[in-house]
């Protein structure tokens, strides 16, 4: 039973446009939500996070939105750049039980 | 070192052999995690250390898997009597403490023939 679902395995976006990556979760105990970015043959790199007490966190071109009632979060990248092409993982955790729980990832391709 | 270092990067072993995978965390990081990533999947938790104490090993798939971190720094993941289904990328991550973002190494790609 998947606790974290990223229902879009892949996404293609034109350079300069907005990329929106979605994530749904089922465990209401999750209280801290992280996004990781992964290039081939490299480990995941931490990108941005949001605590459950917030509904938005912004860092440069990256913004994460959290809708706790819907158990849904999304990552917005604007403007998208070719270097953003990677696999993006949603990874929430329950801060009282520390392992990250990863979704299957969404492969983003930004086309120049 | 700047980041989490894992060795070897690639390991090929015959079914039934034992393997040992090494992780050097970021200096000063208290928490250390091991994850297993199968092809096309997200990483899945295996085990967690806080300093030298293994606080959670609930993700280890069988008793053939064993992890240690004897001095609270370097960690080794050992797999005994390897089987084909053990083929995966094994990722190590460390963090300053359990509620800080985890920083990942580049992983060890294990292939069991």
Q: Which domain CATH number covers A38?
A: 2.60.40.10
Segment B89-110, tens digit of pLDDT: 999 999 998 778 899 999 999 9
The C-alpha angle with vertex A89 and arms to A111 and A96, in degrees rounded to 5, equals 160
Interatomic CA distance for residues A5 and A7, integer angstroms: 6
Segment B41-79, tens digit of pLDDT: 999 999 999 999 999 999 999 999 999 999 999 999 999
For residue B19, count other CB atoms closer than 10 A to its CB. 18
pLDDT at B36 > cutoff 90:
yes
pLDDT range class, residue B2, cuts 50, 70, 90: confident
Residue A54 is part of which domain span? 4-111
pLDDT at B1 > cutoff 60:
no
Which among A6, A44, A53 is the top mutation candidate for probing chain B, defined by the most B β-carbons within 10 Å of its own β-carbon? A44
Of B6, B45, B107, nearest to A100 by CB-CB distance is B45
Helices (H), chain A: none
Per-residue confidence (pLDDT) for residue A97, from 0 to 100: 65
Instruction: With beta carbons less than 8 A apart as the criterion, state whether B4 and B26 touch.
Output: yes
Q: Specify the length of chain B in residues.
A: 113
Query: How many domains does chain A fold into?
Result: 1
Q: Which residues of chain A have pLDDT under 70?
A: 1, 96-97
CB contact under 8 A, B106 and A42: yes
Distances (CA, A) of B108 to A43, B38, B47: 10, 12, 16
Domain ranges (residues) in chain B: 5-112
Domain B5-112 has CATH 2.60.40.10: yes
Query: Which residue does chain A place closest to B36, by CA atoms?
Result: A102
CB contact under 8 A, B104 and A98: no
Q: Enumerate chain A positions whose Cβ falls within 8 A of a Cβ in B.
A: 4, 32, 34, 36, 41-46, 49, 89, 91, 95, 97-105
Residues 6+ apart with CB under 8 A from B16: B81, B82
């Amino acid at each position: 039973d998947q606790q974290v679902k990223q229902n879009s395995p892949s996404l293609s976006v034109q350079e300069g446009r907005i990329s929106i990556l979605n994530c749904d979760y089922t465990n209401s105990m999750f209280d801290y939500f992280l996004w990781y970015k992964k290039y081939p043959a490299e480990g995941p790199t931490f990108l941005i996070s949001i605590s459950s007490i917030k509904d938005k966190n912004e860092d440069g071109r990256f913004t994460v939105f959290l809708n706790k009632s819907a158990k849904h979060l999304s990552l917005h990248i604007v403007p998208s750049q070719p270097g953003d092409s990677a696999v993006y993982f949603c990874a929430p955790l329950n801060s009282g039980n520390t392992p990250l729980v990863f979704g299957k990832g969404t492969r983003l391709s930004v086309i120049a | 070192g700047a980041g989490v270092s894992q060795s070897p990067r690639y390991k090929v072993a015959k079914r039934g052999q034992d393997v040992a995978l090494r992780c050097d965390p970021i200096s000063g990081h208290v928490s250390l995690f091991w994850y297993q990533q199968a092809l096309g999947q997200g990483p899945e938790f295996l085990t967690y250390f806080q300093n030298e104490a293994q606080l959670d090993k609930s993700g280890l798939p069988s008793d053939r898997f064993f992890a240690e971190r004897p001095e609270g720094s370097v960690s080794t993941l050992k797999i005994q009597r390897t089987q084909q289904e053990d083929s995966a990328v094994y990722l190590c991550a460390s963090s300053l403490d359990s509620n800080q973002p985890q920083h990942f190494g580049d992983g060890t790609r294990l292939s069991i023939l």
